[in-house]
Amino acid sequence: MNTTTSPKPTNPATTQNDHRPAVPQYKLRPLRTDAERAAAAALVDDRSRHLAGRGITVPHRHITAYQDARAQSGGLYEDAADGEEILLGCLMLHRQPAPHPGTENEDKPGLEISLAYTAPGLGERYGWLITLWASNLAARTGATRVHAEAPSPPNRDEADLLLDYLQSLGWLVTSTGISRDGERVAHLHLNAQERNGLSSLITCAVPFDTARPAHGDRGQK
């Protein structure tokens, strides 16, 4: 969720002229087709080029992971005025398949998101929206937390900026370590919270099968 600063989206719960609920502007749903998965892989590739200029390396397998039809991958979409969907971000969802650093003794259910990316140049609003969605989904499914990872590169300025941003959204840093790619990462968790009224902003078109681990890799950016 490496983004630049921009205003958060307003909640279109009502129109300006009346109090009738408006149609949600965003949706988060599974990537169903080869074309959708290819679009997500291209988004991650674009983001990786952007991050490379900031000293953050994205492993190539983060891109190819989205081409795997077995992965429980999802896309954040905006509904355009012409009826088309615009892909704004993507992620993998997991039902806490393994203990996480700092939470090994936790026996309550959790969720995990990984390989979370937003398209470059869109600002920070979509990282915020994914955070709201994730904490709400965790609460809906009986989980207590959402787990994730964020890059923590040697460039401390970039690492601090990213972690400060994520913590401003409600993510807590539990520890740091080395990923399977040999990259420094921060381990994060987000408390589950039911978000009343969120459905007026974003449609949750999941079900992902959260009862079993997803095929794919870990890591969040």
96-105, 157-166, 169-178: segment of lowest average pLDDT: 96-105
Task: Answer for the pair 138, 144: CB distance below 8 angstroms, yes or no.
Answer: yes
Query: Is residue 3 in some structural domain?
Result: no
Residue 211 lies in a domain: no
CA distance 113 to 71: 12
Q: Which two tokens stand for residue 30?
A: 């599974």
Read off the tokens for 204: 């949750």
Q: Does residue 19 lie in a domain region?
A: no
Range of the domain at 71: 26-204
| Least confident range of 11-15, 44-48, 120-124 | 11-15
pTM: 0.80
Looking at the domain assignment, is residue 13 inside a domain? no
pLDDT in tens, 91-107: 999 876 455 555 555 56
CATH code, 111: 3.40.630.30
Is 135 part of any domain? yes
pLDDT value for 57: 83
Query: How many domains in the chain?
Result: 1
* Domain membership flag for residue 14: no
Please report where in the chains the tokens 């401003």 appear, as a residue.
168
Between CA 221 and CA 202 the distance in angstroms is 21
Does residue 136 carry a pLDDT above 60?
yes
**Does any domain span residue 181?**
yes
**Residue 8 binned pLDDT confidence (cut-offs 50, 70, 90):** very low
Stretch 146-173: mean pLDDT: 84
Kindly give the pairing relationship between strand 85-94 and strand 145-151: unpaired
- Whether 175 is covered by a domain: the verdict is yes
**Cα–Cα distance, 124 to 170 (Å, whole number):** 14
Average pLDDT over residues 4-16: 40
